[in-house]
Structure 1
């Protein structure tokens, strides 16, 4: 079987390796140029293609006639999209003989759309996963082929969850491919009415509102912790990014409420705490000042300002 693969990021890299390990002939890979302004903390699909001798192109417009012609010339049996950042036009989806399939980083139909892992952590979900599904004109709306779930632990960051989802994506594709390659691709219902859709996020969306509950602030910190842009506040013209927190249960620390009930931030026993809008506390475990790692003691000057 021959495939054209649209791929980027770690999911793209690992799923491309799965295709090769399963004996799929990949005649063309379509990827992205790394952006100079982006924190590139993930593996390179283009590098794998160079090592494996696979043709790899990085067009800026997935709707271009040139790209359509290149995909058609490859005469693929399948098209796969693994964390490629653009929607593919219907003309391309109609090229492969046995269908076009995408790997999405959630348990569809939940969290359709952009940055699904970050949204799942932000909303305090306890599990997410990877879903292989058929591509249609509507995003993440096609029939489900297979999916694998992973847990989200209470203090997991989106980056930690992403690593789990990469493995889930690899397992999902590995398990589904034998049936797909033999012409028996499962197509299970993707009930959009039972799911949800979310758009992209901007760095400004990480601004902390300490009037929110402690759990909401904690989830925000986890959802956008580095290598993502981070949860931040601005004090005296400086950007303070909170990189790691822990929920403090009032019942376990009654002295905090009694002694520091009205203070927003304070040190107690060498630990830094923040009081949130619901009266509960977070322990602040890591900070950056103007995007540079800093000691918690550096926060003292801002507390005194």
Structure 2
């Protein structure tokens, strides 16, 4: 079964997605790379301003450490040969002969043409920031699946670990589910919980959960190829977007952070 991987490489997923590509290189027909600051989404200024208006300045470390700093580090440092964790995804794909495509609009004709030319049979969304239409999902014979660093049906939305840390009790986990036009609403294929830890940031939790998804994917992908995957329908609970200013203040009162100094070290280490 040939895979089209859709991703936005960031601190939250970079180690996991790089390991996934290295392990499944023979099965990956195409890697679609999204740019969080693409003009269609408002550019760097528009995207950042929108998040700041909603979440306030406490969200800024999360944005910088997740999206900006890792790319700068990758640009300035050359990873040694064979270092999967530190090799940027585009370079890793080039070394393995895996085609990549810049995805400005996942539902547009350019990506559809690239998908058709690749011969991919399954879409795998792994920290991807664009919503696929039913028509795009149906363009792959096996449809699509998504890696969501949250315990669905809880915490539907783009930053589930922030909302998980806001909840009482805190429940962290990762879900593999079917892609559907409604965000994070497809049938559940696999799920596992992860214990909380003192001082764990939302960004660090997301990184650990994306890594915890790898063995789940290794189990689910052969089941999909064999037609034996079991899907559990889930209730669709309220969508939880980027946190409000009040929610970020509540997170701080709990002594928790969206991102912190430990994440700076992780970003610099690669």
* TM-score (ref. length: structure 1): 0.63
Relative contact order: is structure 1 or structure 2 higher (C-alpha 8 Å, sep ≥ 6)?
Answer: 2
Q: Does the 8 A contact of 2:178 with 2:189 survive in 1?
A: yes
Report if the CA contact (8 A) 2:189-2:220 is conserved.
Answer: yes
Between the aligned partners of 2:226 and 2:29, the Cα distance in structure 1 is 19
**SS of the residue 1:81 aligns to:** strand
- Answer whether contact 1:125 1:152 (CA < 8 A) is retained: no
Aligned ranges 1:1-40 → 2 under 5 Å: 1-9=1-9, 10-11=12-13, 14-15=16-17, 17-18=19-20, 21-22=23-24, 24-33=26-35, 38-40=67-69
Q: Secondary structure at the match of 2:229?
A: coil
Decide whether aligned partners of structure 1 residues 227 and 168 sit closer, same or farther in structure 2, where only a CA change above 3 A counts.
Answer: same
- Partner-residue secondary structure (3-state), 1:189: coil
> Partner residue of 1:226?
260
- In the alignment, the residues of structure 1 paired with residue 26 and residue 190 of structure 2 have an alpha-carbon distance, to the nearest angstrom, of 19
More helix by share: 2
Cα contact 1:141–1:190 (8 A) shared by 2: yes
Using the alignment, how far apart are the partners of 1:23 and 1:120 within structure 2? 33
Query: What corresponds to 1:119 in structure 2?
Result: 163
Look up the match of 1:172: 216
Secondary structure at 1:224's aligned position in 2?
coil
Q: Distance in 2 between matches of 1:166 and 1:31?
A: 17
Distance 1:206 1:143, change over 3 A: closer
TM-score (ref. length: structure 2) = 0.70
Aligned to 2:185: 141
- Larger deviation, residues 138-147 vs 156-165: 156-165
1:119-268 residue pairs with structure 2 within 5 A? 119-192=163-236, 195-201=237-243, 208=249, 217-219=252-254, 221-226=255-260
The worse-fitting range, judged by mean Cα deviation, of 12-21 and 55-64 is: 12-21
Contact 1:119/1:223, CA 8 A, preserved across alignment: no
> 2:47 maps to which residue?
none
- Offset of 1:140 from its aligned partner? 0.5
Measure, in 2, the Cα distance between the counterparts of 1:39 and 1:63. Answer: 26
How many Å apart are 1:13 and its aligned residue? 5.3
Evaluate the alpha carbon distance shift between residue 227 and residue 112 of structure 1 in structure 2; reply closer, same or farther with a 3 A threshold. Answer: farther
Aligned position for 1:41: 70
Asked if the contact 2:36–2:129 (Cα under 8 Å) also holds between the matched residues in 1, the reply is no
Larger Rg, first or second structure (1 or 2): 1
Question: What is the distance in 1 between the residues matched to 2:247 and 2:70?
Answer: 19
What is the 5 A alignment of 1:56-135? 56-135=100-179
Q: For residue 56 of structure 2, what is the aligned residue in structure 1?
A: none
Q: Residues 187 and 110 from structure 1, CA distance in 2 versus in 1: closer, same or farther, beyond 3 angstroms? A: same
> What is the alpha-carbon root mean square deviation over aligned residues?
2.9
- The 8 Å contact of residues 131 and 148 in structure 1, kept in 2 or not, is answered as yes
Q: How many residues get paired? A: 219
Runs (4+) of structure 1 exceeding 6 A deviation are none
Identify, as 1 or 2, the structure richer in strand: 1
